[in-house]
Amino acid sequence: MGRTRRKRRHRKVPPFQKQHTQSTAASDALKLWLLDQNWVPTLDLEPHIFPETGRGLMALKDIAVKDVLLELPKRLLITTLTVSESYISRIFLSDKIYDAQCVLATFLLYEKHLKEASNWKPYLDSLPVSYSNPEFCSKTEKTILPEFVTSQLSLLSRKCKVSYLSLMETLTILRSREFVCPHCTLSFDKIITFSDFTWGYYTVNTRAVYLDGTENIRINIKGDNLALAPFLDLFNHTCRTVAVAALIKKKESEFYQIKSLTSYKRGSQVFINYGAHNNLELYMEYGFVIPQNPLDEIKFDLSDIKKCINISRTVYNFLRVHNLDDNMSFSSQGLNYSAKNVLFICTTSVQKNQWMQKMFRDNLDSEDLSRVNSLGLKILQMKKSQLKQDLQKMKRCRYKSGSFLSAVQLLEEFIQVLESCLKIICE
């Protein structure tokens, strides 16, 4: 019963996402454009609207394990090399070092600004106008998001803002050197607004792939190198599939290739795997949540334990000195290893000099486990009631954006995880 209820909940496609997902026109146009650029599809895949995920790719024939899902010539990817060979490369030729996310975002915004004159127009048209990452929640909604989301959001927001300010600083200098758009003669600091930049930044965040092998580029890149791959965007994520991506060489040309390690029946949706992400990571990075994500865990720390039991100075110091409390969590599998050890130390009456031996050599006996579970249960109930309060508050919010609805779904998923964990603990 739980399963059907969750499925139905997942079908609630956020309102703005619907604008993109009710039609496959832009994706169809993108496919035609790629064919026009001499792209050779390896498989028959068609953009399609699926009830569970919105826009995705449907297999028109059965797909076997190791079939190549997609093979894109490198020239059809937007890479830092693409930018480095473009008119706007001058922006990035200063002494500064940029991250690839900023470089690609700037390129997207410039090309978007060119409208019909852009070579990438069909790709740009296929991109969503907004995303459902927490950044795109309204101001009011952001004040209602739970703390474990807002603390991560403020880090991401800051990164985006710092990137923008650094870019603006360069663009202002370039304006004084009369570096302007060759089409409309506007200076670049007037072309790129902060809200545009945020869109570009998140376009790269939600869609870019890691790509090595970009030698010969004149831009200094900090951190990982990234690329945008038209059409690849159309694959949705599931953690139940495996796909491998690589840059391969064929007859002197390079291709970005994705192979499926899962088979698919004709008419079903073909997925790729964006990596091993729990729902909080998926929401922060990609703006969505998947039902029953096996990697989900609800973390807790010593301050949570302290609300349920007194911890002596000796215990507290011991835990901190050995960093035993770093990674305590509840998952649908129960209490994790760290949590069990920490809760053991908090509840045991054996002497301190025996703790390590008991945890790492002798294993906990049934009486130890019973105390561990009973304290674990208290913390779990407290966490659950916090999440439920957060959820109620969020549900009372009148205007819910797509990003906010994803946060609601995230909390519902977390409460489910705690409920599964509770069953395991009580067994």
Q: Which residue has the tokens 């990609």?
A: 286
- C-beta of 129: minimal distance to Zn ion in Å? 20
| Residue 425 interacting with Zn ion (CB under 5 A) | no
Instruction: Kindly tell me which of 145 and 174 has the beta carbon lying closer to Zn ion.
Output: 174
| Residue 275 identity | G
Binding window for Zn ion (CB under 5 A); candidates: 53-61, 176-184, 215-223, 299-307: 176-184
CA-based diameter of the chain, in Å? 77
Instruction: Kindly tell me which of 46 and 125 has the beta carbon lying closer to Zn ion.
Output: 125
| Residue 184 interacting with Zn ion (CB under 5 A) | yes
| Cα distance between residue 44 and residue 41, in whole Å | 7
| Residue 192 identity | I
Instruction: Kindly tell me which of 117 and 165 has the beta carbon lying closer to Zn ion.
Output: 117
Instruction: Kindly tell me which of 106 and 420 has the beta carbon lying closer to Zn ion.
Output: 106
Give the residue, chosen from 183, 222, 388, 423, that forms a contact with Zn ion under the rule CB under 5 A.
183
Q: Using only C-alpha atoms, what is the Rg of the chain?
A: 25
- C-beta of 383: minimal distance to Zn ion in Å? 52
- C-beta of 76: minimal distance to Zn ion in Å? 24
**DSSP alpha helices (H): ranges in 79-183?**
80-84, 100-113, 121-126, 139-144, 147-176
| Cα distance between residue 100 and residue 163, in whole Å | 11
Instruction: Kindly tell me which of 88 and 359 has the beta carbon lying closer to Zn ion.
Output: 88
| Cα distance between residue 3 and residue 175, in whole Å | 58
| Residue 117 interacting with Zn ion (CB under 5 A) | no
- C-beta of 136: minimal distance to Zn ion in Å? 26
Q: At 151, list the tokens.
A: 């603390």
- C-beta of 117: minimal distance to Zn ion in Å? 8
| Cα distance between residue 115 and residue 63, in whole Å | 37
Binding window for Zn ion (CB under 5 A); candidates: 178-186, 212-220, 279-287, 368-376: 178-186
- C-beta of 185: minimal distance to Zn ion in Å? 7
- C-beta of 122: minimal distance to Zn ion in Å? 19
Write out the H or E segment, with its range, that includes residue 425: helix 402-426
- C-beta of 94: minimal distance to Zn ion in Å? 21
Residue 83 CA neighbour count, 13 Å, CB half = 31
- C-beta of 87: minimal distance to Zn ion in Å? 10
| Residue 181 interacting with Zn ion (CB under 5 A) | yes
Query: What string marks each residue from 125 to 164 as x (binds Zn ion by CB under 5 A) or -?
Result: ----------------------------------------
Residue 353 CA to chain centroid, in angstroms? 44
| Residues 277, 200, 257, 23, CA torsion sign | positive
Name every residue whose Cβ is closer than 8 Å to that of residue 175 and which is 6 or more positions away in sequence.
Answer: 187, 188, 189
Instruction: Kindly tell me which of 97 and 184 has the beta carbon lying closer to Zn ion.
Output: 184
Q: Which phi and psi (to 5°) does residue 310 adopt? A: -80, 130
Query: What string marks each residue from 51 to 80 as x (binds Zn ion by CB under 5 A) or -?
Result: ------------------------------
Instruction: Kindly tell me which of 184 and 244 has the beta carbon lying closer to Zn ion.
Output: 184
| Cα distance between residue 280 and residue 324, in whole Å | 23
Binding window for Zn ion (CB under 5 A); candidates: 136-144, 183-191, 198-206, 323-331: 183-191
- C-beta of 183: minimal distance to Zn ion in Å? 4
Binding window for Zn ion (CB under 5 A); candidates: 175-183, 229-237, 269-277, 322-330: 175-183
Instruction: Kindly tell me which of 180 and 311 has the beta carbon lying closer to Zn ion.
Output: 180
| Cα distance between residue 260 and residue 412, in whole Å | 31
| Cα distance between residue 287 and residue 320, in whole Å | 34
Residue 181 CA to chain centroid, in angstroms? 33
Instruction: Kindly tell me which of 170 and 260 has the beta carbon lying closer to Zn ion.
Output: 170
Smallest CA-to-CA distance from 71 within 270, 267, 249 is with 249
Smallest CA-to-CA distance from 202 within 289, 135, 145, 155 is with 135
Burial class (CB in 10 A: 0-12, 13-18, 19+), 175: middle
Instruction: Kindly tell me which of 181 and 295 has the beta carbon lying closer to Zn ion.
Output: 181
- C-beta of 184: minimal distance to Zn ion in Å? 3
Q: How many residues bind Zn ion (CB under 5 A)?
A: 3
Instruction: Kindly tell me which of 118 and 263 has the beta carbon lying closer to Zn ion.
Output: 118
Positions touching Zn ion (CB under 5 A) are 181, 183-184
